Amino acid sequence: MRNEHVKDVTIKDIAQHLGISHPTVSRALRDHPSIRAETRLAVKEAARQLGYIANSGARTLSRTRSELIGVIFPDVQNDFYSRTMSTLASMFLERGFKLVLATSEDSAETEFKHIQSLREARVAGVIIAPTANLKNESVELLRSIPTVQLLRSHPLLECSIIKLDERSGIATAMEHLIEKGHSRIGFIGGSGTLSTGVDRAAGYIDALQGHGIPLMRALLRQGPPRPHFGYQAMSDMLSMKAPPSAVVMASSELTLGGIEAIQERKISVPADLALIAYHDPAWFKLWGAGITCLRLPIEQMAAAAAMRLLNQILADAKSPMCAGSETLDADTPFASQLVVRGTT
């Protein structure tokens, strides 16, 4: 223990130690071209010996922008977000950025607080999966930070979006079920206030219409994308007089709850009920004969978001006043892939 509370050594200390000026030290440390190789080496050696540790706060102060990237996700327990974090972490680390993780818990208020403190930290950029009812103040703050929306998007946020083609993903799943002869198909998805909730439900409705199957209100359930709601919705559907013969669960968290309800009632899958889930966490292939699902290109999406943000940050640094580089926003949505397994 005993933290040695000696004051940190600064570039001035190094300068003094070497009998030169601090600006020279500063330049040497950053490999500034106009510095003699000799002095550069001497400086670096001295820095090492004295145990110099740069002060990123001070650097930020004189530069106006830090090397921090804020990541605002609803939570990290969700497999999608935690895997995304991994990719983002490695991509940004390589480029000298650090990630600050902020979890909104789907509360617009905590989301706002986070955005505020990220703004205070002068983060270089933000990657966000916004909450449904993003506050105006949040929008306002984000206006001054290069931002990229990932997976979810919010209408008020005028920034790049890296998204999935949710509708056609669900459409594919529906095709699959319909081909298998199902027509009483249920859908359990995220709230209609979330962009993903809306889009996935739309895909479901489209598919039904496309095949002339009437939409039954009781078979379309939307709510908070958490296990609890999945359990609830599935239980409800299973207690109907005429329950569905297949169900699409539009999120892995909902699936967790949905399956619990199914097991509780000892319903056999896929004999009595076919199932398609969204996303493909590791355990899906282990459950029974495997859960049929739509696999999302997580790594690619994360990488795309990172690159997009890096570009924006760069463009921003070059021509801070210029508002023209909107060419980046060619929002080509990513496609999910149907993985057929034992539940259908």
Partner DNA sequence: CTGTTAGCGCCTTCAA
Partner DNA sequence: TTGAAGGCGCTAACAG
Which residue of 20, 29, 42, 100 would you call a contact of its own copies, by CB under 8 A?
Answer: 100
Q: Which stretch binds DNA (CB under 7 A): 23-31, 150-158, 252-260, 286-294?
A: 23-31
Closer residue to DNA in complex, CB, 58/215: 58
Which residue of 326, 327, 330, 332 would you call a contact of its own copies, by CB under 8 A?
Answer: 326
Q: Which stretch binds its own copies (CB under 8 A): 22-30, 74-82, 161-169, 180-188?
A: 74-82
314-320 contacts, C-beta under 8 A, 24 or more apart: 316/146, 317/65
Q: What is the DSSP string of 149-168?
A: EES---TT--SEEE-B-HHH
The Cα-based distances of 180 to 126, 230, 273 in angstroms read 43, 24, 12
Residue 333 structure tokens: 């949505």
Q: How far is the CB of 207 from its own copies (least distance, A)?
A: 27
Which residue of 2, 5, 7, 217 would you call a contact of DNA, by CB under 7 A?
Answer: 7
Q: What is the DSSP string of 232-297?
A: HHHHHHHTSSS--SEEEE-SHHHHHHHHHHHHHTT--TTTT-EEEEES--GGGGTSTT---EEEP-
Integer distance in angstroms from the first to the last C-alpha of the chain?
58
Regarding beta strands 337-339 and 293-295, do their DSSP bridges make them parallel or antiparallel, or are they unpaired?
antiparallel
Give CA–CA dist 79/99, Å, rounded.
18
Give CA–CA dist 288/343, Å, rounded.
8
* Residues in region 6-65 near its own copies by CB under 8 A: 8, 53-58, 60-61, 64
Find how far residue 100's CA is from the centre of its chain.
13
Q: Which does 76 bind (CB under 5 to 8 A by kind): DNA, its own copies, none?
A: its own copies
The single residue listed with the structure tokens 């909730």 is 197
Q: Does 66 bind DNA (CB under 7 A)?
A: no
- Virtual torsion, Cα 234, 240, 244, 250, nearest 10 deg: -20
Close Cβ partners of 242 (under 8 Å, ≥ 6 residues apart): 184
Closer residue to DNA in complex, CB, 26/131: 26
Q: Does 11 bind DNA (CB under 7 A)?
A: yes
Backbone angles phi, psi at 58, to 5 degrees: -65, -40
Backbone angles phi, psi at 336, to 5 degrees: -95, 165
Which residue of 121, 178, 202, 205 would you call a contact of its own copies, by CB under 8 A?
Answer: 121
Q: Does 58 bind DNA (CB under 7 A)?
A: yes
Q: Applying CB under 8 A, what is the total number of residues that bind its own copies? A: 68
Closer residue to its own copies in complex, CB, 106/166: 106
Q: Does 105 bind its own copies (CB under 8 A)?
A: yes
Q: How far is the CB of 44 from DNA (least distance, A)?
A: 12
Binding mask 263-282 for its own copies (x = CB under 8 A): x-----------------xx
Interface ranges with DNA (CB under 7 A): 7-8, 10-12, 19-24, 26-30, 33-36, 38-40, 52, 54-55, 58-59, 61-64
Interface ranges with its own copies (CB under 8 A): 1-5, 8, 53-58, 60-61, 64, 66, 68, 75-77, 79, 82-83, 85-86, 89-90, 93, 98-103, 105, 110, 113-114, 116-117, 119-122, 141, 143-146, 158-159, 227, 256, 259-260, 263, 281-283, 285-287, 316, 320-321, 323, 326, 329
